[in-house]
Structure 1
Amino acid sequence: MKEIKQIYYNDSGTSFYWRKQNEVIIDKVQLIFRETGFYFSRLELEQFKRCIEESFTLNKCCDDCSLKNECHKFLLKTPCLQIDLAVSMQELTAVKDLVEGTLFKINLNDYLFGVGMN
């Protein structure tokens, strides 16, 4: 595991930086969700977060349903124009947590080891 520096994980996936010759490469984040890997810049990660938020807005029809978010899948757009993911509402919630947790940890580290240092 010395080839990576983990950023965040949950039951559906993980995010990490790659290491090359003992140096952490922070310009891109490897995001693994289910069996799919994305190699995103921070800007692309922010775009993915907006795609997820848009999907929540477009597919919030499960509140009155007896199956409660487990019945069907819909397409989740990604920053890669050629790639959409088929996800259920449960999976959408999990990838939302993964992306938001990753961005939170990145921003926290930037603050702690950047502007926040005295």
Structure 2
Amino acid sequence: MQEMKQIYYNESGTSFFWRKENEILTDKIQLIFRETGFYFSRHELKLFQCCIEESYILNNCCDDCELKSNCHKFLLKTPCSQIDLAVSMDELNSVKDLVEGTLFKINLNDYLYGEGMN
């Protein structure tokens, strides 16, 4: 079994890089949301972030609702044209946090151990 290096996690999922023979494979990110796993390149993860933002703008209508983000499910597009996810607004917020947190940590590490090193 391959080992992993965790990048970010929240209550709905996690993201990590796979390790192979003690080398961290940083070209792809494994993102697990609920029971679904995605294996994205950095570019695909950024595209997913755009899909989430678009969905958030189109479906953010729960402010005055008594059920507050829990009842209605809608389709969230992914960079994989064959796959959409059915999510509630709460789940959308959670996957948004997961993706943004993952990208933030990746960019921070790239800076700290790349161009930010003296």
Please give the TM-score of this superposition, normalised by the length of structure 2. Answer: 0.98
For 2:67 and 2:14, how far apart are their aligned partners in 1?
A: 28
Q: Write the letter of the residue equivalent to 1:72.
A: H
Change (3 A) 1:2 1:82: closer
SS at match of 1:47: helix
Structure 1: how far apart are the matches of 2:103 and 2:84? 21
* Partner Cα separation in structure 2 for residue 97 and residue 60 of structure 1: 16
- 2:78 matched residue in structure 1: 78
Instruction: After TM superposition, list the pairs within 5 Å mapping 1:1-118 onto structure 2.
Output: 3-118=3-118
Query: Displacement, 1:61?
Result: 1.1
Q: Which runs of 4+ in 1 moved over 2 A?
A: none
Shift of 1:35: 0.2
TM-score scaled to structure 1, two decimals? 0.98
| Corresponding residue SS for 2:110 | helix
- Root-mean-square deviation (CA, aligned residues, Å) is 1.1
Unaligned runs of 5+ in 1: none
* Superposed CA offset, 1:45-64 (max 9, x none): 00000000000000011111
Equivalent pairs, count? 118
Unmatched segments (≥5 aa) in structure 2? none
Amino acid at match of 1:85: L
